[in-house]
Amino acid sequence: MLTSLGVKQGHHALDFGCGEGRYTVPLSQVVGKEGCVYSVERNEEAILAAKERLSLFSDPDVVRLLKSDDIEAAGLIPKKSIDAIFAFDVLQYIPDSDKLFLYFRSLLKPNGMVCIYPAAIPHPGDVDIKLIITKMKKIGLQYVKSTEYKMMHSADMVDDIVHSFKWIAG
Ligand SMILES: C[S@@+](CC[C@H](N)C(=O)[O-])C[C@H]1O[C@@H](n2cnc3c(N)ncnc32)[C@H](O)[C@@H]1O
């Protein structure tokens, strides 16, 4: 799924709201030693679980696990440094998505991408993807595609959609 979305070896990625790190693990494996994954999470218990999981499956030099509840991740990630941002099953918790999307754009390198998994299954309608596409377009993030994958959600695997966007720098 990650490679088909465009993640490559050497990429710098952000896993925003990484939870227990279930997507951070494969991300770190795809970007490899030349790459880097910033994983931002606000919940202490999730951070502890992520640390344990990452110690088993990820290279510690590749992943930077950041505890933050500030949607701008307290300025910890360099601007214009990121190739791929993942906001998986998290937008339903973000009251100000405009601010978050502007922050994402500020982090992206030209041609960098944002991938959104609204996790419509099993709770449809929590995230309005049409509104998100409109908001992204307004700030110059071009809609690329919506693709169905086997997604990890809670304790289940579900067929669900990931939406991707590209920052075409002006
Ligand atoms: C449903 S979980 C999804 C975790 C992971 N992305 C996945 O798909 O498995 C959402 C996570 O986002 C985190 N979160 C929500 N708002 C956040 C914020 N403003 N900053 C950092 N983490 C946040 C929550 O603590 C939670 O762990």
pLDDT for the residue 123: 83
Pocket test for ligand 1, best of 23, 51, 90 (most atoms within 8 A of CB): 90
pLDDT of the chain, 170 residues: tens digit per residue: 999 999 999 999 999 999 999 999 999 999 999 999 999 999 999 999 999 999 999 999 999 999 998 888 888 899 999 999 999 999 999 999 999 999 999 999 999 999 999 998 888 888 999 999 999 999 999 999 999 999 999 888 999 999 999 998 76
Whose structure tokens read 């990121």? 82
Strand partners for 108 = 82
CA angle 119/158/60 to nearest 5° reads: 75
Specify the DSSP class assigned to residue 64.
E
80 in Cβ contact with 109 (< 8 Å)? yes
Tokens matching residue 81: 């440094």
Enumerate the domain spans of the chain. 2-167
pLDDT for the residue 170: 64
Tokens matching residue 146: 């919506």
Q: Which residue, among 113, 25, 38, 114, has the nearest Cα to 77 in the 3D structure?
A: 38
In CATH terms, the superfamily for domain 2-167 is: Vaccinia Virus protein VP39 (3.40.50.150)
With a 6 A CB cut-off, is 115 part of the ligand 1 pocket?
no
**pTM check: above 0.95:** yes
pLDDT for the residue 89: 96
Ligand 1 centre from 51 Cα, in Å?
15
Pocket test for ligand 1, best of 2, 14, 23, 42 (most atoms within 8 A of CB): 42
d(CA 40, CA 46): 11
